[in-house]
Amino acid sequence: MPWEAARRRREGNELHRGPRSPGQGLFLSLLLSAPLLTSCDLPTESPQWEQRWILPADEFSLEVEEILPDHVGITPDGTAFLVDVDPVVFQTTLGSLCALCAPLEGQFVPKPPFQGDFHHTISFPDEVESVVVRQGEVLVVATNNLGFDPIRPPGGQRGSLTLTLRDGGPGGRVLDQETWNGTTASFPPGGTLSGTFTFTGPVGSSLHALVTVDSPAGGLDAGSRVPVRLQDQLQVSATAPPLEVTSATVEVAGRVFDMEGQELDVGDVDQELVDRVVSGALELEITNPWGVGAGFTLVIDGPEVGVAVTRTIAIPPGPSSTVRVEFSQDDLRSFLGKEGVTLGGQGTVSSSAGSVTATPSQLLLLDAKLDLILRIG
């Protein structure tokens, strides 16, 4: 019980409490000692003085996932973040790939040769600026909606289709690559080619998928002719399960977060102490791994509290700080000695906070102690 770890010190008329049992015997001994602190003259009224008691309360925590943007969670074992990536579908037309096909629209002809590419960005959730990937994969499926096989044209040589997955953009680090060669693979009309692309390590806020097509000329005989329809398409879909990442740099400015109510261990504070409370404060020593400032509405509540006690405080930026939250006599008497009392609340990260780099194990810690003024006598 943290109350038993309290320490008393006496400075002038202020006394700090030492190790105690919160029972009635403590108060009898305090009352019996009162005459030793008065003058030799007999008082006409019972003497009164004030004591200051510093009582350790509990340690409260805010988990890192509370400040993460939407679509970023955490694995069940707490060792990695899970970053959702929306599936994408992109495509190109025969007219975009094959300049020689333009005058041949609607004809059956020997297939003209062409080379071309098309690409798409696979974006991470908003506010995610970069991540370090522990395990990432993207399932890619290419579908041929042309009227011919572009990598194995009838009567012609063999071509290829290559998909390259990069970090960020066309010049980014190659994460994975796969080539389907017409000598070993076919891609007939209505057919598909698929592959799973895996990657690890640092990446930015998006992935870049590039499809490169090398399609040779077809045969010249009548049996090798193919239909040319400029609006026919090659289509690619890319689907990624949530990426497992060991750290993420995210934008947190203005982020609203909740701290779920956690037990404030004040249930066995005896009523005799509660009755003597004059005023006091909750002193919070804050360890802030992200170093961002925030406004926070602190709420003390419980089944026996009646009306919840709330205070709006400012959490300063920086790795550590101390915040003092003042309470009136009525506030303190409403929750001291009550069972099931909790401390929680809601906050908003400062609009000037910018971005932070977060890891799954991080917690914002609030080490709380009560600073109480008691009237004795």
CA neighbours within 13 Å on the CB side: how many for 47? Answer: 17
Please give the pLDDT value at position 49.
84
- For residue 300, pLDDT beyond 50: yes
Q: Which range, 7-11, 140-144, 275-279, has the best average confidence (pLDDT)?
A: 140-144
- For residue 44, pLDDT beyond 60: no
- For residue 265, pLDDT beyond 60: yes
- pLDDT band at residue 66 under the 50/70/90 scheme: very high
Write down the residue that tokens 């008497």 correspond to: 333
CA-closest candidate to residue 109, choices 229, 234, 191, 232: 229
Please give the pLDDT value at position 48.
73
Please give the pLDDT value at position 24.
34
- For residue 2, pLDDT beyond 60: no
- 41: which residues sit within 8 A by CB, 6+ positions away? none
Q: What average pLDDT does range 239-243 have in this prediction?
A: 96
- Phi first, then psi, for residue 349 (nearest 5°) are -65, 140
Q: What is the pLDDT of residues 173-218, one digit of tens each?
A: 999 999 999 999 999 999 999 999 999 999 999 999 999 999 999 9
Rounded to whole angstroms, the Cα distance separating 123 from 87 reads 9
- For residue 12, pLDDT beyond 70: no
Residues shown for the chain: 377
Give whole-number Cα distances, 164 to 69, 132, 225, 270, in Å: 29, 20, 31, 70
Q: What is the pLDDT of residues 71-97, one digit of tens each?
A: 999 999 999 999 999 999 999 999 999
Give whole-number Cα distances, 9 to 14, 48, 275, 316, in Å: 8, 18, 21, 30
Please give the pLDDT value at position 23.
35
- For residue 42, pLDDT beyond 50: no
- Phi first, then psi, for residue 241 (nearest 5°) are -65, 165
CA-closest candidate to residue 370, choices 340, 321, 333: 333
- For residue 3, pLDDT beyond 70: no
Q: Coil, helix or strand for 148? A: coil
Q: What is the CA radius of gyration of the chain?
A: 35
Q: What average pLDDT does range 16-33 have in this prediction?
A: 35
Please give the pLDDT value at position 57.
84
More confident residue, 211 or 26: 211
Q: What average pLDDT does range 49-55 have in this prediction?
A: 87
CA neighbours within 13 Å on the CB side: how many for 333? Answer: 14
- Phi first, then psi, for residue 242 (nearest 5°) are -50, 130
Q: Is 316 exposed, middle or buried (0-12, 13-18, 19+ CB in 10 A)?
A: middle
Residues 186 and 152: beta-carbon distance below 8 Å: yes
pLDDT, mean over the chain: 88
Residues 199 and 223: beta-carbon distance below 8 Å: no
- For residue 257, pLDDT beyond 90: yes
Rounded to whole angstroms, the Cα distance separating 301 from 298 reads 10
Residues 157 and 113: beta-carbon distance below 8 Å: no
Give whole-number Cα distances, 106 to 14, 147, 218, 223, in Å: 98, 11, 17, 17
Rounded to whole angstroms, the Cα distance separating 184 from 152 reads 10
CA-closest candidate to residue 168, choices 200, 199, 123: 123
Rounded to whole angstroms, the Cα distance separating 303 from 84 reads 39
Long-range contacts of 97-101 (CB under 8 A, 24+ apart): 97/213, 97/215, 97/234, 98/215, 101/228, 101/230
- pLDDT band at residue 29 under the 50/70/90 scheme: very low
